[in-house]
């Protein structure tokens, strides 16, 4: 059973998370991409080779394969991503950002990072309470 402090920390965490997500929706919309497109671009950029297979993108974004394909179609149409045939498996499609995709990702990642920094204390406070709760149970 949670105590009052833990309920308050959980509520604070959710409020901070919702605030960050609201910021993200506004920032991405103003930049001309959707939050889902930005999330996909960020997943590609974060991958070691800055390239991702469609199935890896689906996994990263918790999407069904066909939903990931539809997202990729929209990314390609918006000229944010290009498809390339994998060198390792000719049946697989590799996603790489275009120059425009790179620019959008760099800009959005920078402003998201700046927005996240002041919220880290709220997230850290929750993590400390959660770890104490884990040690007790």
Q: pLDDT digits over 68-105, tens only? A: 999 999 999 999 999 998 888 888 889 999 999 999 99
Q: What are the CA-CA distances from residue 90 to residues 85, 86, 94, 127 (Å)? A: 6, 5, 10, 44
**Residue 33 in contact with residue 93, Cβ under 8 Å?**
no
Kindly report the number of other CB atoms within 10 A of residue 134's CB atom: 8
Residue 65 — pLDDT band, cuts 50, 70, 90? very high
Tokens 């930049």 -> residue: 31
Provide CATH code, domain 4-136: 1.10.10.10
Per domain, the residue ranges of the chain are: 4-136
């Amino acid at each position: 059973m949670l105590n009052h402090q833990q309920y308050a920390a959980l509520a604070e965490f959710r409020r901070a998370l919702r605030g960050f997500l609201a910021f993200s929706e506004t920032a991405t919309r103003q930049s001309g991409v959707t939050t889902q497109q930005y999330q996909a671009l960020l997943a590609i950029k974060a991958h070691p080779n800055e390239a991702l297979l469609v199935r890896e993108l689906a996994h990263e974004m918790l999407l069904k394969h066909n939903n990931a394909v539809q997202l990729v179609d929209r990314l390609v149409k918006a000229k944010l991503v290009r498809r390339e045939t994998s060198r390792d498996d000719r049946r697989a499609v590799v996603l790489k950002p275009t120059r425009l995709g790179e620019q959008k990702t760099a800009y959005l990642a920078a402003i998201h990072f700046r927005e996240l920094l002041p919220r880290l204390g709220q997230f850290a406070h929750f993590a400390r309470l959660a770890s104490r709760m884990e040690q007790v149970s």
